[in-house]
Structure 1
Amino acid sequence: MDRGTVGSANRGRLQVEVRTEGRSEVVKPAGELDHHTAELLRAPLDEALAQGRTRLVIDCSQLEFCDSTGLNVLLGARLKAEAVGGGVHLAGMLPVVARVFEITGAEAVFTVHDSLEAALSD
């Protein structure tokens, strides 16, 4: 079920698509995730958890940039999901985004998949 796309008032720097696929809530941010756009990702993640969707798959294949604010949004979602028996899976990270997770050590606390298909079949 497709829940649509949320756009940024900041000239479309971040678009977020949300859909349910099997037991997973797939959230696909596209563009730049930073201080100015973080709420556009936080809101659908919080909404999914509020609706009882505890397995969150973040399709990062079109995420071009992620700063510390964006990383904190994902870490916060992970803590909330794990508190209710779920988790956050990251899929298809571009090298520039993967590097942020590597440098900060955050890759160690997420389940990371090479592709969305791999994350959904896990």
Structure 2
Amino acid sequence: MHLQVSTEQSGAATVVSAVGELDLHTAPMLQEHLDRAVESQDGLIVVDLTAVDFMDSTGLSVIVSAVASMRPSGRELRVASSSDRITKVFTLTGIDQQVGIFETVAEAVT
């Protein structure tokens, strides 16, 4: 199980990109990047999951936690995912009602 996470600016948005498998063992890496983005940046955060092959409930929990920490300041978190399996996780759990889901990062940052 392997995950690579990076953070970059795309205009006014902070994009946190993950590549690989997002599970119990790798989720803390994403959590660390999201925590830093929430604390140090203003505005929109986009979580790029377009290169994530697998995501379990731990990965979903990391994203929900970031949304909760951003909510008091009125900031928004969006997810980019082209995988039907990963998008379905957000839909089945109702998280798609709290988080915008987009097929590409380009769509999510606009």
Q: Does 1:41 align with 2:47?
A: no
Q: Which residue of 1 aligns with 2:17?
A: 28
CA RMSD of aligned residues (A): 1.3
> Which letter maps to 1:63?
V
Query: In structure 2, how many angstroms separate the alpha carbons of the residues matched to 1:64 and 1:112?
Result: 17
Cα deviations across residues 11-69 of structure 1 (Å, max 9, x unaligned)? xx111111011111101111111111111000011101111334110111101111111
Which consecutive segments of 4 or more residues in structure 1 shift more than 6 A? none
Contact 1:15 1:30 in 2 (8 A): yes
Q: Which residue of 2 aligns with 1:66?
A: 55
Where 1:93 maps in the other structure, the secondary structure is coil
TM-score by length of 1: 0.83
**Would you tell me which structure has more helix in proportion to its own residues?**
2
Cα offset for 1:102? 1.9
Unaligned runs of 5+ in 1: 1-9
Q: Which residue of 2 aligns with 1:87?
A: 76
Percent same amino acid at aligned positions? 31
> Which letter maps to 2:62?
V
Structure with more relative contact order (C-alpha pairs < 8 Å, separation 6 or more) = 2
Q: Which residue of 2 aligns with 1:96?
A: 85
* Aligned positions, number: 110
> Which letter maps to 1:112?
I
